[in-house]
Amino acid sequence: MTGEVLFSVREVSQKLGGAQILDRVSFDVHDRTRAGQTTGQIIGILGPSGVGKTRLIRIIAALDAPDSGSVVGIQGAPIEPGQVGVVFQDYPLLRHRTVRSNLEVAGIANGLSRAAAQGRAKKLLDLFRLGDRGSYYPAQLSGGQRQRVAIAQQIVCPKRLLLMDEPFSGLDPSALEEVMHLVVEVANMDELNTIGIVTHDIRAAMAVSDTLFMLGRDRTPDGKWLPGARIQETYDLVERGLAWRDDVMELPAFSSLEKEIRQKFKQL
Amino acid sequence: MSTLSTRGLARLFLPNRVIRSSTALALVAFWMATVLTVWLLSPFASLPTPGEVWTALGALWWRHGMGPELFTTMKLILHALALTVAISMALSYATMIAFFRPLVAAVSKLRFLGLTGLVFPFTLVTGGGYSLKVALLTFGMTTFFVTSMAQVVLEIPRVAFDHMRVLGASERRIFWEVVVRGTLDRALDVLRQNAAIGWAMITMVEGISRAEGGIGAMILNQNKHFLLAEVYAILLVILVLGLLMDYGMGVLTDLLCPYGRLERVRR
Ligand SMILES: Nc1ncnc2c1ncn2[C@@H]1O[C@H](COP(=O)(O)OP(=O)(O)OP(=O)(O)O)[C@@H](O)[C@H]1O
Ligand SMILES: [Mg+2]
Protein backbone atom coordinates (compact mmCIF):
# COMPACT_ATOMS: atom_id res chain seq x y z
CA MET A 1 0.00 0.00 0.00
CA THR A 2 1.61 3.13 -1.19
CA GLY A 3 -0.27 6.42 -0.83
CA GLU A 4 -0.65 8.72 2.13
CA VAL A 5 -2.69 7.48 5.11
CA LEU A 6 -6.13 9.13 5.00
CA PHE A 7 -7.70 7.47 8.02
CA SER A 8 -6.45 5.30 10.80
CA VAL A 9 -8.37 3.18 13.24
CA ARG A 10 -5.93 2.58 16.07
CA GLU A 11 -6.36 -0.15 18.64
CA VAL A 12 -10.07 0.52 19.10
CA SER A 13 -11.70 -1.53 21.86
CA GLN A 14 -15.25 -1.45 23.15
CA LYS A 15 -17.09 -3.32 25.86
CA LEU A 16 -20.88 -3.40 25.97
CA GLY A 17 -22.97 -4.83 28.75
CA GLY A 18 -19.86 -6.45 30.25
CA ALA A 19 -18.91 -8.24 27.02
CA GLN A 20 -15.89 -7.34 24.93
CA ILE A 21 -17.24 -6.49 21.45
CA LEU A 22 -14.24 -4.90 19.72
CA ASP A 23 -10.73 -5.84 20.75
CA ARG A 24 -7.96 -3.57 19.48
CA VAL A 25 -9.31 -3.11 15.97
CA SER A 26 -6.66 -1.44 13.81
CA PHE A 27 -6.43 -0.58 10.14
CA ASP A 28 -5.31 2.22 7.85
CA VAL A 29 -6.88 3.62 4.71
CA HIS A 30 -4.36 4.73 2.11
CA ASP A 31 -4.85 7.08 -0.76
CA ARG A 32 -5.12 5.04 -3.93
CA THR A 33 -3.80 6.67 -7.05
CA ARG A 34 -4.10 5.89 -10.73
CA ALA A 35 -2.34 7.83 -13.46
CA GLY A 36 -4.71 10.19 -15.21
CA GLN A 37 -7.76 9.20 -13.20
CA THR A 38 -9.40 10.55 -10.10
CA THR A 39 -9.56 7.57 -7.82
CA GLY A 40 -11.32 7.54 -4.49
CA GLN A 41 -11.00 4.72 -2.02
CA ILE A 42 -13.53 2.01 -1.33
CA ILE A 43 -12.90 -0.27 1.58
CA GLY A 44 -15.03 -3.21 2.48
CA ILE A 45 -15.36 -4.29 6.08
CA LEU A 46 -16.63 -7.86 6.15
CA GLY A 47 -17.86 -9.66 9.19
CA PRO A 48 -20.57 -12.03 10.34
CA SER A 49 -23.75 -10.77 11.94
CA GLY A 50 -23.39 -9.52 15.50
CA VAL A 51 -19.61 -9.24 15.34
CA GLY A 52 -19.59 -5.49 15.97
CA LYS A 53 -19.66 -3.84 12.53
CA THR A 54 -22.33 -1.31 13.40
CA ARG A 55 -20.60 -0.49 16.68
CA LEU A 56 -17.35 0.09 14.81
CA ILE A 57 -19.12 2.47 12.39
CA ARG A 58 -20.51 4.45 15.32
CA ILE A 59 -17.04 4.79 16.78
CA ILE A 60 -15.40 5.81 13.50
CA ALA A 61 -18.13 8.43 12.97
CA ALA A 62 -17.43 9.76 16.49
CA LEU A 63 -20.99 9.01 17.61
CA ASP A 64 -19.66 6.77 20.38
CA ALA A 65 -16.33 6.95 22.13
CA PRO A 66 -14.25 3.77 22.27
CA ASP A 67 -13.13 2.47 25.66
CA SER A 68 -9.60 2.76 24.36
CA GLY A 69 -7.90 3.51 21.08
CA SER A 70 -8.65 6.25 18.62
CA VAL A 71 -9.74 7.11 15.11
CA VAL A 72 -7.86 9.82 13.28
CA GLY A 73 -8.00 11.50 9.91
CA ILE A 74 -5.30 12.96 7.70
CA GLN A 75 -2.08 13.75 9.61
CA GLY A 76 -3.52 12.40 12.83
CA ALA A 77 -6.32 14.93 13.20
CA PRO A 78 -9.07 13.73 15.56
CA ILE A 79 -12.55 13.18 14.09
CA GLU A 80 -15.57 15.17 15.26
CA PRO A 81 -19.20 14.15 14.83
CA GLY A 82 -20.40 15.40 11.44
CA GLN A 83 -17.08 14.86 9.68
CA VAL A 84 -17.83 11.30 8.71
CA GLY A 85 -21.01 10.52 6.79
CA VAL A 86 -22.99 7.43 7.67
CA VAL A 87 -25.75 5.71 5.75
CA PHE A 88 -27.43 3.81 8.56
CA GLN A 89 -28.78 0.29 8.28
CA ASP A 90 -32.47 1.28 8.02
CA TYR A 91 -32.02 4.53 6.08
CA PRO A 92 -33.46 7.11 8.48
CA LEU A 93 -34.85 10.26 6.86
CA LEU A 94 -36.72 13.25 8.21
CA ARG A 95 -40.29 11.97 8.02
CA HIS A 96 -41.83 15.43 7.96
CA ARG A 97 -39.85 16.58 4.95
CA THR A 98 -40.21 15.66 1.33
CA VAL A 99 -37.38 13.95 -0.51
CA ARG A 100 -36.22 17.25 -2.00
CA SER A 101 -36.45 19.00 1.33
CA ASN A 102 -34.53 16.17 3.04
CA LEU A 103 -31.66 16.85 0.66
CA GLU A 104 -31.89 20.62 1.03
CA VAL A 105 -31.82 20.53 4.81
CA ALA A 106 -28.62 18.48 4.66
CA GLY A 107 -27.04 21.30 2.68
CA ILE A 108 -28.35 24.07 4.90
CA ALA A 109 -27.21 22.25 8.04
CA ASN A 110 -23.70 22.34 6.56
CA GLY A 111 -23.76 26.04 5.90
CA LEU A 112 -24.88 26.13 2.27
CA SER A 113 -27.14 29.00 1.28
CA ARG A 114 -30.73 28.06 0.51
CA ALA A 115 -30.19 28.59 -3.21
CA ALA A 116 -27.02 26.50 -3.22
CA ALA A 117 -28.73 23.73 -1.27
CA GLN A 118 -31.63 23.72 -3.72
CA GLY A 119 -29.20 23.47 -6.60
CA ARG A 120 -27.38 20.54 -5.01
CA ALA A 121 -30.64 18.80 -4.23
CA LYS A 122 -31.84 19.09 -7.81
CA LYS A 123 -28.57 17.76 -9.16
CA LEU A 124 -28.58 14.78 -6.83
CA LEU A 125 -32.23 13.95 -7.51
CA ASP A 126 -31.36 13.64 -11.17
CA LEU A 127 -28.15 11.73 -10.54
CA PHE A 128 -29.99 9.23 -8.32
CA ARG A 129 -32.93 8.93 -10.72
CA LEU A 130 -35.29 10.41 -8.16
CA GLY A 131 -36.33 13.40 -10.22
CA ASP A 132 -40.01 12.46 -10.18
CA ARG A 133 -40.00 11.63 -6.48
CA GLY A 134 -38.83 15.01 -5.16
CA SER A 135 -42.19 15.93 -3.67
CA TYR A 136 -42.78 12.54 -2.03
CA TYR A 137 -42.58 12.03 1.69
CA PRO A 138 -40.35 9.22 3.00
CA ALA A 139 -43.47 7.18 3.82
CA GLN A 140 -44.25 7.07 0.09
CA LEU A 141 -40.94 5.58 -1.04
CA SER A 142 -40.00 2.02 -1.86
CA GLY A 143 -37.14 0.45 0.04
CA GLY A 144 -34.67 0.99 -2.79
CA GLN A 145 -35.76 4.60 -3.35
CA ARG A 146 -35.46 5.28 0.33
CA GLN A 147 -31.92 3.94 0.29
CA ARG A 148 -30.98 6.15 -2.64
CA VAL A 149 -32.37 9.21 -0.87
CA ALA A 150 -30.41 8.30 2.26
CA ILE A 151 -27.20 8.01 0.24
CA ALA A 152 -27.94 11.20 -1.70
CA GLN A 153 -28.56 13.04 1.56
CA GLN A 154 -25.08 12.10 2.76
CA ILE A 155 -23.37 13.50 -0.31
CA VAL A 156 -25.18 16.83 -0.53
CA CYS A 157 -22.09 18.03 1.30
CA PRO A 158 -19.69 15.17 0.71
CA LYS A 159 -17.48 14.15 3.59
CA ARG A 160 -14.03 12.68 3.13
CA LEU A 161 -15.29 9.43 4.59
CA LEU A 162 -18.73 7.94 4.05
CA LEU A 163 -19.61 4.73 5.86
CA MET A 164 -22.46 2.56 4.68
CA ASP A 165 -23.98 -0.04 6.97
CA GLU A 166 -25.23 -3.01 4.95
CA PRO A 167 -25.94 -1.06 1.75
CA PHE A 168 -26.55 -4.26 -0.23
CA SER A 169 -29.18 -5.96 1.87
CA GLY A 170 -32.68 -6.46 0.53
CA LEU A 171 -31.97 -5.36 -3.03
CA ASP A 172 -32.94 -7.21 -6.20
CA PRO A 173 -30.04 -7.98 -8.61
CA SER A 174 -30.51 -4.91 -10.78
CA ALA A 175 -30.91 -2.58 -7.80
CA LEU A 176 -27.82 -4.15 -6.28
CA GLU A 177 -25.84 -3.43 -9.42
CA GLU A 178 -27.13 0.11 -9.43
CA VAL A 179 -26.04 0.76 -5.86
CA MET A 180 -22.65 -0.77 -6.58
CA HIS A 181 -22.22 1.61 -9.52
CA LEU A 182 -23.36 4.49 -7.37
CA VAL A 183 -20.79 3.66 -4.69
CA VAL A 184 -17.99 3.64 -7.24
CA GLU A 185 -19.23 6.85 -8.79
CA VAL A 186 -19.45 8.68 -5.49
CA ALA A 187 -16.03 7.44 -4.37
CA ASN A 188 -14.39 8.61 -7.58
CA MET A 189 -15.83 12.11 -7.33
CA ASP A 190 -12.70 13.14 -5.46
CA GLU A 191 -9.21 11.73 -5.10
CA LEU A 192 -9.48 11.90 -1.31
CA ASN A 193 -13.00 10.44 -0.98
CA THR A 194 -13.29 7.18 0.86
CA ILE A 195 -16.33 5.00 1.10
CA GLY A 196 -16.42 2.31 3.74
CA ILE A 197 -18.83 -0.49 3.05
CA VAL A 198 -19.73 -2.60 6.00
CA THR A 199 -21.45 -5.79 5.01
CA HIS A 200 -21.67 -9.54 5.06
CA ASP A 201 -22.25 -9.63 1.30
CA ILE A 202 -18.82 -10.94 0.29
CA ARG A 203 -19.32 -10.87 -3.46
CA ALA A 204 -20.66 -7.33 -3.71
CA ALA A 205 -17.98 -6.03 -1.36
CA MET A 206 -15.26 -7.71 -3.41
CA ALA A 207 -16.62 -6.28 -6.63
CA VAL A 208 -16.43 -2.62 -5.59
CA SER A 209 -13.66 -2.44 -3.01
CA ASP A 210 -9.96 -1.84 -3.39
CA THR A 211 -9.25 -3.17 0.09
CA LEU A 212 -11.11 -5.68 2.22
CA PHE A 213 -10.82 -5.96 5.97
CA MET A 214 -12.24 -8.97 7.69
CA LEU A 215 -13.59 -8.37 11.15
CA GLY A 216 -14.03 -11.44 13.31
CA ARG A 217 -13.48 -13.14 16.59
CA ASP A 218 -10.85 -15.72 17.41
CA ARG A 219 -11.68 -19.29 18.30
CA THR A 220 -10.17 -21.65 20.79
CA PRO A 221 -8.77 -24.90 19.34
CA ASP A 222 -12.03 -26.67 20.24
CA GLY A 223 -14.07 -24.12 18.27
CA LYS A 224 -15.44 -21.83 20.99
CA TRP A 225 -15.68 -18.07 20.40
CA LEU A 226 -13.32 -15.84 22.24
CA PRO A 227 -14.85 -12.46 23.02
CA GLY A 228 -13.74 -9.39 21.09
CA ALA A 229 -13.51 -8.93 17.33
CA ARG A 230 -10.41 -7.70 15.56
CA ILE A 231 -9.23 -7.38 11.98
CA GLN A 232 -8.44 -10.96 11.06
CA GLU A 233 -7.34 -10.46 7.50
CA THR A 234 -6.62 -7.70 5.01
CA TYR A 235 -6.97 -8.25 1.27
CA ASP A 236 -5.39 -5.73 -1.09
CA LEU A 237 -7.47 -6.12 -4.23
CA VAL A 238 -5.35 -3.65 -6.20
CA GLU A 239 -2.28 -5.77 -5.68
CA ARG A 240 -4.23 -8.81 -6.84
CA GLY A 241 -5.45 -7.04 -9.94
CA LEU A 242 -9.04 -7.28 -8.72
CA ALA A 243 -9.89 -3.61 -8.34
CA TRP A 244 -11.28 -1.01 -10.72
CA ARG A 245 -12.52 -3.44 -13.34
CA ASP A 246 -16.08 -3.76 -14.57
CA ASP A 247 -15.52 -7.36 -15.55
CA VAL A 248 -13.88 -8.29 -12.27
CA MET A 249 -16.53 -10.86 -11.38
CA GLU A 250 -15.68 -12.90 -14.44
CA LEU A 251 -12.00 -13.29 -13.56
CA PRO A 252 -10.87 -16.69 -12.27
CA ALA A 253 -8.83 -14.92 -9.59
CA PHE A 254 -12.05 -13.31 -8.34
CA SER A 255 -13.76 -16.64 -7.91
CA SER A 256 -10.84 -18.25 -6.17
CA LEU A 257 -10.46 -15.33 -3.78
CA GLU A 258 -14.20 -15.37 -3.13
CA LYS A 259 -13.93 -19.02 -2.23
CA GLU A 260 -11.00 -18.34 0.06
CA ILE A 261 -12.84 -15.51 1.81
CA ARG A 262 -15.99 -17.59 2.21
CA GLN A 263 -13.95 -20.34 3.77
CA LYS A 264 -12.37 -17.89 6.17
CA PHE A 265 -15.72 -16.25 6.87
CA LYS A 266 -17.21 -19.53 8.04
CA GLN A 267 -14.60 -19.82 10.75
CA LEU A 268 -15.31 -16.37 12.18
CA MET B 1 -77.06 -0.98 1.40
CA SER B 2 -78.23 -2.76 -1.70
CA THR B 3 -74.82 -2.19 -3.26
CA LEU B 4 -73.27 -4.59 -0.80
CA SER B 5 -72.68 -8.03 -2.17
CA THR B 6 -72.63 -11.02 0.15
CA ARG B 7 -68.86 -11.08 -0.05
CA GLY B 8 -68.70 -7.37 0.65
CA LEU B 9 -70.95 -7.94 3.64
CA ALA B 10 -68.69 -10.71 4.89
CA ARG B 11 -65.71 -8.35 4.68
CA LEU B 12 -67.29 -6.11 7.29
CA PHE B 13 -66.87 -8.85 9.87
CA LEU B 14 -63.32 -9.81 9.06
CA PRO B 15 -60.47 -8.21 10.94
CA ASN B 16 -58.08 -5.75 9.25
CA ARG B 17 -60.09 -5.19 6.10
CA VAL B 18 -60.06 -1.96 4.14
CA ILE B 19 -63.60 -0.85 3.23
CA ARG B 20 -64.86 1.80 0.85
CA SER B 21 -65.69 5.18 2.37
CA SER B 22 -69.31 4.89 1.20
CA THR B 23 -69.54 1.61 3.07
CA ALA B 24 -68.00 3.21 6.12
CA LEU B 25 -70.67 5.92 5.97
CA ALA B 26 -73.41 3.32 5.68
CA LEU B 27 -71.96 1.60 8.75
CA VAL B 28 -72.15 4.83 10.74
CA ALA B 29 -75.77 5.35 9.64
CA PHE B 30 -76.59 1.81 10.67
CA TRP B 31 -75.16 2.26 14.15
CA MET B 32 -76.85 5.63 14.64
CA ALA B 33 -80.18 4.17 13.65
CA THR B 34 -79.64 1.29 16.05
CA VAL B 35 -78.82 3.56 18.96
CA LEU B 36 -81.79 5.80 18.20
CA THR B 37 -84.10 2.78 18.06
CA VAL B 38 -82.83 1.45 21.37
CA TRP B 39 -83.33 4.91 22.86
CA LEU B 40 -86.92 5.18 21.52
CA LEU B 41 -87.86 1.71 22.70
CA SER B 42 -86.07 2.08 26.00
CA PRO B 43 -88.05 0.68 28.94
CA PHE B 44 -86.59 3.24 31.35
CA ALA B 45 -89.39 5.75 31.85
CA SER B 46 -87.06 8.34 33.38
CA LEU B 47 -85.03 8.53 30.20
CA PRO B 48 -86.37 11.47 28.16
CA THR B 49 -87.35 10.68 24.60
CA PRO B 50 -85.54 12.27 21.65
CA GLY B 51 -88.57 14.52 21.13
CA GLU B 52 -88.44 15.81 24.68
CA VAL B 53 -84.72 16.47 24.42
CA TRP B 54 -85.26 18.35 21.17
CA THR B 55 -87.96 20.55 22.73
CA ALA B 56 -85.77 21.22 25.77
CA LEU B 57 -82.91 22.19 23.49
CA GLY B 58 -85.12 24.75 21.75
CA ALA B 59 -86.26 26.21 25.06
CA LEU B 60 -82.72 26.42 26.42
CA TRP B 61 -81.45 28.07 23.29
CA TRP B 62 -84.23 30.62 22.79
CA ARG B 63 -85.29 31.41 26.37
CA HIS B 64 -82.39 30.58 28.68
CA GLY B 65 -79.57 32.12 26.67
CA MET B 66 -77.69 28.95 25.90
CA GLY B 67 -75.75 30.66 23.12
CA PRO B 68 -73.93 33.16 25.34
CA GLU B 69 -73.29 30.45 27.96
CA LEU B 70 -71.74 28.32 25.29
CA PHE B 71 -69.56 31.21 24.26
CA THR B 72 -68.41 31.70 27.88
CA THR B 73 -67.40 28.05 28.09
CA MET B 74 -65.68 28.01 24.72
CA LYS B 75 -63.65 31.03 25.69
CA LEU B 76 -62.63 29.41 28.97
CA ILE B 77 -61.62 26.16 27.32
CA LEU B 78 -59.67 27.80 24.50
CA HIS B 79 -57.88 30.07 26.95
CA ALA B 80 -56.90 27.14 29.15
CA LEU B 81 -55.96 25.07 26.12
CA ALA B 82 -53.61 27.76 24.86
CA LEU B 83 -51.88 27.92 28.23
CA THR B 84 -51.79 24.12 28.41
CA VAL B 85 -50.08 23.87 25.05
CA ALA B 86 -47.46 26.46 25.95
CA ILE B 87 -46.63 24.92 29.32
CA SER B 88 -46.83 21.29 28.24
CA MET B 89 -44.78 21.62 25.09
CA ALA B 90 -42.07 23.43 27.02
CA LEU B 91 -42.08 20.72 29.69
CA SER B 92 -42.13 17.89 27.16
CA TYR B 93 -39.25 19.30 25.15
CA ALA B 94 -37.42 19.81 28.43
CA THR B 95 -37.19 16.02 28.81
CA MET B 96 -34.29 16.33 26.37
CA ILE B 97 -32.33 17.85 29.23
CA ALA B 98 -31.55 15.51 32.11
CA PHE B 99 -31.90 18.28 34.69
CA PHE B 100 -35.62 18.76 33.98
CA ARG B 101 -36.65 15.12 33.66
CA PRO B 102 -37.69 14.61 37.31
CA LEU B 103 -39.79 17.77 37.16
CA VAL B 104 -41.63 16.61 34.05
CA ALA B 105 -42.18 13.16 35.53
CA ALA B 106 -43.63 14.79 38.67
CA VAL B 107 -46.04 16.99 36.70
CA SER B 108 -47.19 13.96 34.79
CA LYS B 109 -47.90 12.07 38.02
CA LEU B 110 -50.13 14.89 39.30
CA ARG B 111 -52.88 13.69 36.96
CA PHE B 112 -53.86 11.18 39.63
CA LEU B 113 -54.92 13.96 41.98
CA GLY B 114 -58.05 15.17 40.23
CA LEU B 115 -59.18 18.75 40.65
CA THR B 116 -61.56 18.72 43.63
CA GLY B 117 -58.91 18.85 46.33
CA LEU B 118 -57.03 21.57 44.53
CA VAL B 119 -59.76 24.20 44.51
CA PHE B 120 -58.75 25.67 47.85
CA PRO B 121 -55.02 26.21 47.22
CA PHE B 122 -55.73 27.41 43.69
CA THR B 123 -58.26 29.91 45.05
CA LEU B 124 -55.62 31.30 47.39
CA VAL B 125 -53.19 31.75 44.54
CA THR B 126 -55.52 33.07 41.85
CA GLY B 127 -58.07 34.89 43.94
CA GLY B 128 -60.96 32.92 42.49
CA GLY B 129 -63.30 33.75 39.64
CA TYR B 130 -62.33 33.40 36.02
CA SER B 131 -58.61 33.05 36.65
CA LEU B 132 -59.26 30.24 39.12
CA LYS B 133 -61.20 28.34 36.49
CA VAL B 134 -58.53 28.88 33.86
CA ALA B 135 -55.86 27.77 36.30
CA LEU B 136 -57.73 24.62 37.30
CA LEU B 137 -58.50 23.61 33.73
CA THR B 138 -54.96 24.34 32.63
CA PHE B 139 -53.59 22.31 35.50
CA GLY B 140 -55.86 19.38 34.76
CA MET B 141 -55.17 19.33 31.06
CA THR B 142 -51.43 19.94 31.47
CA THR B 143 -50.94 16.83 33.60
CA PHE B 144 -52.46 14.70 30.84
CA PHE B 145 -50.88 16.58 27.95
CA VAL B 146 -47.40 16.31 29.47
CA THR B 147 -47.87 12.60 30.08
CA SER B 148 -48.62 11.89 26.41
CA MET B 149 -46.29 14.42 24.88
CA ALA B 150 -43.24 13.62 27.01
CA GLN B 151 -43.74 10.00 25.96
CA VAL B 152 -43.76 11.04 22.29
CA VAL B 153 -40.48 12.89 22.80
CA LEU B 154 -38.91 10.02 24.74
CA GLU B 155 -39.85 7.55 22.02
CA ILE B 156 -37.86 9.35 19.32
CA PRO B 157 -35.33 6.70 18.32
CA ARG B 158 -31.69 7.43 18.95
CA VAL B 159 -30.82 6.94 15.30
CA ALA B 160 -32.98 9.96 14.44
CA PHE B 161 -30.56 12.16 16.38
CA ASP B 162 -27.45 10.38 15.12
CA HIS B 163 -28.69 10.68 11.57
CA MET B 164 -28.79 14.47 11.89
CA ARG B 165 -25.50 14.52 13.75
CA VAL B 166 -23.59 12.77 10.98
CA LEU B 167 -25.13 15.18 8.50
CA GLY B 168 -23.31 17.87 10.45
CA ALA B 169 -26.37 19.58 11.95
CA SER B 170 -25.92 21.65 15.10
CA GLU B 171 -27.62 20.47 18.29
CA ARG B 172 -30.04 23.38 17.95
CA ARG B 173 -31.04 22.36 14.46
CA ILE B 174 -31.33 18.74 15.56
CA PHE B 175 -33.69 19.80 18.34
CA TRP B 176 -35.79 21.81 15.91
CA GLU B 177 -35.92 19.18 13.16
CA VAL B 178 -36.20 15.99 15.17
CA VAL B 179 -37.89 17.01 18.40
CA VAL B 180 -40.12 19.91 17.35
CA ARG B 181 -40.88 19.45 13.66
CA GLY B 182 -40.54 15.68 13.70
CA THR B 183 -43.24 15.26 16.35
CA LEU B 184 -45.60 18.04 15.26
CA ASP B 185 -48.29 15.70 13.99
CA ARG B 186 -48.17 13.72 17.22
CA ALA B 187 -48.31 16.93 19.24
CA LEU B 188 -51.46 17.94 17.35
CA ASP B 189 -52.92 14.50 18.04
CA VAL B 190 -52.16 14.86 21.73
CA LEU B 191 -53.77 18.29 21.67
CA ARG B 192 -56.83 16.77 20.08
CA GLN B 193 -57.17 14.15 22.82
CA ASN B 194 -56.65 16.74 25.50
CA ALA B 195 -59.32 19.09 24.24
CA ALA B 196 -61.72 16.26 25.08
CA ILE B 197 -60.31 16.08 28.62
CA GLY B 198 -61.05 19.80 28.93
CA TRP B 199 -64.71 19.21 28.08
CA ALA B 200 -64.85 16.37 30.59
CA MET B 201 -63.58 18.66 33.36
CA ILE B 202 -65.73 21.63 32.48
CA THR B 203 -68.75 20.77 34.65
CA MET B 204 -66.62 20.48 37.73
CA VAL B 205 -64.68 23.65 37.05
CA GLU B 206 -67.67 25.80 36.16
CA GLY B 207 -69.52 24.43 39.15
CA ILE B 208 -67.09 26.23 41.44
CA SER B 209 -68.68 29.60 40.80
CA ARG B 210 -71.90 29.15 38.90
CA ALA B 211 -72.63 32.85 38.94
CA GLU B 212 -70.28 33.30 36.00
CA GLY B 213 -72.32 30.91 33.97
CA GLY B 214 -71.12 28.67 31.23
CA ILE B 215 -72.55 25.48 29.87
CA GLY B 216 -71.18 23.41 32.74
CA ALA B 217 -72.94 25.61 35.29
CA MET B 218 -76.10 25.29 33.23
CA ILE B 219 -75.97 21.50 33.41
CA LEU B 220 -75.53 21.56 37.17
CA ASN B 221 -78.54 23.88 37.56
CA GLN B 222 -80.81 21.67 35.43
CA ASN B 223 -79.53 18.56 37.15
CA LYS B 224 -80.46 19.96 40.54
CA HIS B 225 -84.09 20.23 39.45
CA PHE B 226 -84.10 16.81 37.77
CA LEU B 227 -84.76 18.44 34.39
CA LEU B 228 -83.34 15.43 32.60
CA ALA B 229 -84.45 16.43 29.12
CA GLU B 230 -82.59 19.72 29.55
CA VAL B 231 -79.51 17.96 30.90
CA TYR B 232 -79.38 15.64 27.91
CA ALA B 233 -79.97 18.52 25.54
CA ILE B 234 -76.87 20.22 26.96
CA LEU B 235 -74.87 17.00 26.85
CA LEU B 236 -75.86 16.62 23.23
CA VAL B 237 -74.63 20.13 22.47
CA ILE B 238 -71.33 19.44 24.23
CA LEU B 239 -70.98 16.22 22.26
CA VAL B 240 -71.64 17.90 18.94
CA LEU B 241 -69.31 20.80 19.76
CA GLY B 242 -66.60 18.42 20.91
CA LEU B 243 -66.95 16.38 17.75
CA LEU B 244 -66.78 19.49 15.60
CA MET B 245 -63.63 20.66 17.36
CA ASP B 246 -62.17 17.16 17.05
CA TYR B 247 -62.96 17.05 13.35
CA GLY B 248 -61.56 20.54 12.81
CA MET B 249 -58.32 19.62 14.51
CA GLY B 250 -58.10 16.44 12.48
CA VAL B 251 -58.40 18.48 9.29
CA LEU B 252 -55.80 20.93 10.58
CA THR B 253 -53.40 18.09 11.40
CA ASP B 254 -53.75 16.59 7.94
CA LEU B 255 -53.21 20.01 6.42
CA LEU B 256 -50.09 20.83 8.42
CA CYS B 257 -48.67 17.31 8.52
CA PRO B 258 -49.78 15.29 5.50
CA TYR B 259 -47.02 12.75 6.20
CA GLY B 260 -48.68 11.58 9.40
CA ARG B 261 -51.66 10.35 7.43
CA LEU B 262 -49.42 8.65 4.87
CA GLU B 263 -47.78 6.59 7.57
CA ARG B 264 -51.13 5.51 8.93
CA VAL B 265 -52.84 4.21 5.78
CA ARG B 266 -53.15 0.45 5.90
CA ARG B 267 -52.92 -1.36 2.65
N1 LIG C 1 -26.27 -1.54 23.80
C2 LIG C 1 -25.73 -2.75 23.79
N3 LIG C 1 -25.51 -3.43 24.94
C4 LIG C 1 -24.96 -4.66 24.93
N5 LIG C 1 -24.57 -5.29 23.83
C6 LIG C 1 -24.75 -4.67 22.65
C7 LIG C 1 -25.35 -3.37 22.56
N8 LIG C 1 -25.41 -3.03 21.26
C9 LIG C 1 -24.88 -4.05 20.57
N10 LIG C 1 -24.48 -5.03 21.41
C11 LIG C 1 -23.86 -6.29 21.00
O12 LIG C 1 -22.72 -5.96 20.26
C13 LIG C 1 -22.54 -6.91 19.22
C14 LIG C 1 -22.26 -6.19 17.94
O15 LIG C 1 -23.40 -5.47 17.53
P16 LIG C 1 -23.44 -4.78 16.10
O17 LIG C 1 -24.76 -4.12 15.97
O18 LIG C 1 -22.24 -3.94 15.93
O19 LIG C 1 -23.39 -6.05 15.14
P20 LIG C 1 -23.21 -6.09 13.56
O21 LIG C 1 -21.87 -6.67 13.29
O22 LIG C 1 -23.50 -4.76 12.99
O23 LIG C 1 -24.32 -7.15 13.14
P24 LIG C 1 -25.35 -7.14 11.91
O25 LIG C 1 -24.58 -7.56 10.70
O26 LIG C 1 -26.34 -8.17 12.31
O27 LIG C 1 -25.91 -5.76 11.82
C28 LIG C 1 -23.80 -7.75 19.16
O29 LIG C 1 -23.47 -9.06 19.61
C30 LIG C 1 -24.75 -7.08 20.10
O31 LIG C 1 -25.49 -8.03 20.83
MG1 LIG D 1 -25.06 -3.97 11.94
Write the secondary structure of A215-252 as one string of H (helix), E (strand) and C (coil).
EEEEECCCCCEEEEEEEEEEEECCCCCCCCCCCHHHCH
What is the SS3 assignment for A139? Answer: helix
Test A88 with B162 for CB contact under 8 angstroms.
Answer: yes
- pLDDT < 50 regions, chain A: 1
Question: What is the value of pTM for the model shown?
Answer: 0.85
Mutate to test the interface with B, among A94, A102, A135, A140 (most CBs of B within 10 A): A94
To the nearest whole percent, how much of chain A has pLDDT over 70? 99
Cα B72 to Cα B52: distance, rounded to the nearest angstrom: 26
What is the SS3 assignment for A22? Answer: strand
pLDDT tens, position by position, B147-206: 999 999 999 999 999 999 999 999 999 999 999 999 999 999 999 888 888 888 888 888
Give A101 to chain B, closest Cα distance, Å.
12
To the nearest whole percent, how much of chain B has pLDDT over 70? 97
Whole-complex ipTM: 0.89
CB < 8 Å to B165, chain A? 63, 81-82
Give the alpha-carbon dihedral of B136, B140, B143, B144, to 10 degrees. -160
Q: Where are the domains of chain A?
A: 2-83+160-265, 93-159
pLDDT of residue B266: 56
Going from the C-alpha of B181 to that of each of A94, A95, A171, B152, the distances in angstroms are: 9, 9, 31, 12
Say how far residue A51 (Cα) sits from the centre of its chain.
Answer: 16
Nearest-by-CA chain A residue for B160: A92
pLDDT of residue B1: 45
Distance A196 CA to ligand 2 centre (A): 13
Q: Assess A151–B contact: CB distance below 8 Å, yes or no.
A: no
pLDDT of residue A135: 94
Out of 3.30.470.30, 3.40.640.10, 3.40.50.620, 3.40.50.300, which CATH number does the structure's domain A2-83+160-265 have? 3.40.50.300
pLDDT of residue B14: 80
Angle between helices B21-40 and B50-63 (to 10 degrees): 90
Instruction: Decide: A17 in ligand 1 pocket, CB within 6 A.
Output: yes
Q: Assess A137–B contact: CB distance below 8 Å, yes or no.
A: yes
- pLDDT < 70 regions, chain B: 1-5, 265-267
Quick one: which atom of ligand 1 is closest to the CA of A17?
A: 4
Going from the C-alpha of A254 to that of each of A204, A242, A259, B58, B201, the distances in angstroms are: 11, 7, 9, 88, 74
Give the alpha-carbon dihedral of B192, B193, B195, B197, to 10 degrees. 180
Mutate to test the interface with B, among A55, A86, A95, A105 (most CBs of B within 10 A): A95
Cα B235 to Cα B103: distance, rounded to the nearest angstrom: 37
- Which among A82, A90, A96 is the nearest to B166, CB-wise? A82
pLDDT of residue B3: 53
